[in-house]
Structure 1
Amino acid sequence: MQYQDLINACQSDWQQYTQHQFVQQLASGELAQPCFLHYLKQDFLFLKQYARAYALAIYKARTLEDMRRALPSVHALLDSEIAHHVSYCQQWGLTESDLENEAEDFGTVAYTRYVLDAGMTGDLVELYAALAPCSIGYATIGKMLIEDSNTRIEGNPYASWIQLYGGEEFQTGVAKGAEHFNQLLAEIDIHSQRGQNLIQVFKTATRMEVAFWQQGLNAR
């Protein structure tokens, strides 16, 4: 099986995630600023837990190659992605202290702890199945928005967000991770119990992404 099989198996949830109203309002520039600021603060808290999950991937890996594959993601999150997020938030008047002191919203707790639990109770592939909707989904959304002629870039306060996730650096990084995920999935039969379990993990994490957008949209 391949990661696309996981997406195909939960197509309805995937569409709700990648075409959510939050995403559409980002594209048009009509998203209310309080919604975006709430999302930014929660995303910072999410990224901290996401880094822990990739560190868990090193622990869960059984081969040196798989350990090495996980390490760049940990480095990227701690050395650049979170730092980029902090500097980006400063443009919106949010300091690192503001972000650190923000309380986790219910959706943030549910999503991040689900990913960590999937990794703790399962194996490396199950952990990656729980992580995949975030990286692959954001790459899908970024590419879709960049290529859509209806997406407003000029004068859109959220243009830099769209350009980040639709940009070559992010797209290339996700493609490398997705290729590794496909290698891990290659020998698994989608119709087996293991394959069906991976679908459920991926589907649940995708539903959590939908809820994450929605909690941002609700913060008016």
Structure 2
Amino acid sequence: MLKTSDLISSCQNDWDAYTRHRFVCELGNGTLPEGAFRHYLQQDYLFLTHFARAYALAIYKCDNFADMRYPLTSLQGTLDTEITLHIDFCKKWGLTETDMMAIPEATGTVAYTRLVLDAGQSGSLVELYAAMAPCAIGYADIGQWLINKSDTVFDGNPYREWIDMYGNDEMQEAGNNCAAQLDAMMRDIPKDSAAANRIKKIFRDAVRMEIAFWEQGYQDA
């Protein structure tokens, strides 16, 4: 049986480079350049637009109503909670939703979101979930790590709300649910099969896109 933990361990170095990236560390200690963070916020809004489409695609690819409920819940959470929080958060940084809608997608944003959508359009439902999983699982991991990290700065940190948002119980539950759902979908896939290798590659590619997403904050700001 293939598990989410197997996907992570198959690209452990990339996973660590993503979840412990310097962008994340500088968020935690409050030293991240403001321009890099603003660029990230702008591109993350565009990213979430495509992610919502990916959840809609997942609903389309489900075979029955029971299976549709999980991506539907995730889509509703993205539209009703995460994007709303994102818009409210961006307002505090002087960014309106109209501003963000008018911003061109950066190269890393295009590459990542199209990888996810292509996995869903050309592959199976489980392959789509494998492409989406690094985001939900990784951000929950990052949020929890920063909340518990001994040198995380809370007082006076301009990014504290971001840390609190991704470290809260709701985001932790979302990450755990994503991993559990993916585990359930992969329960009949042998670990060393060709199908498992395809899923591992998709997952690894998405993790590498997450690294590039952090990096572009420095390069394009």
TM-score by length of 1: 0.98
Instruction: Report the AA paired with residue 43 of structure 2.
Output: Q
CA contact (8 A) 2:136 2:174 kept: no
Shift of 1:71: 0.3
Aligned pairs for 1:68-79 within 5 A: 68-79=69-80
1:55 is matched with 56
Per-residue CA deviation, residues 115-158 of structure 1 (Å, 9 max, x unaligned), is 00001011110000000000000011111111111111111000
How many pairs were matched up? 220
Aligned pairs for 1:93-104 within 5 A: 93-104=94-105
Instruction: Report the AA paired with residue 41 of structure 1.
Output: Q
Give, in whole Å, the separation in 2 of the partners of 1:102 and 1:181: 33
1:89 is matched with 90
Shift of 1:217: 2.1
RMSD of aligned residue pairs (Cα, Å): 0.8
2:115 is matched with 114
Aligned pairs for 1:26-175 within 5 A: 26-175=27-176
Give, in whole Å, the separation in 2 of the partners of 1:30 and 1:208: 23
Give, in whole Å, the separation in 2 of the partners of 1:218 and 1:24: 17
Shift of 1:78: 1.2
After TM superposition, the runs of 4+ consecutive aligned structure 1 residues lying more than 3 A away are: none
Give, in whole Å, the separation in 1 of the partners of 2:161 and 2:79: 21
Per-residue CA deviation, residues 142-181 of structure 1 (Å, 9 max, x unaligned), is 1111111111111100011011101111111221222111
Shift of 1:63: 2.4
Shift of 1:79: 1.5
Shift of 1:190: 1.6
Q: Which consecutive unaligned segments of at least 5 residues does structure 1 have?
A: none
SS, match of residue 151 in structure 2: coil
Give, in whole Å, the separation in 1 of the partners of 2:16 and 2:203: 14
CA contact (8 A) 1:34 1:219 kept: no
Per-residue CA deviation, residues 72-103 of structure 1 (Å, 9 max, x unaligned), is 11111112211110111000000111011111
Give, in whole Å, the separation in 2 of the partners of 1:217 and 1:6: 28
Instruction: Report the AA paired with residue 69 of structure 1.
Output: Y
Per-residue CA deviation, residues 178-214 of structure 1 (Å, 9 max, x unaligned), is 2111111111112000000000000000000000000
Q: Which consecutive unaligned segments of at least 5 residues does structure 2 have?
A: none
TM-score by length of 2: 0.98
Identity %: 49
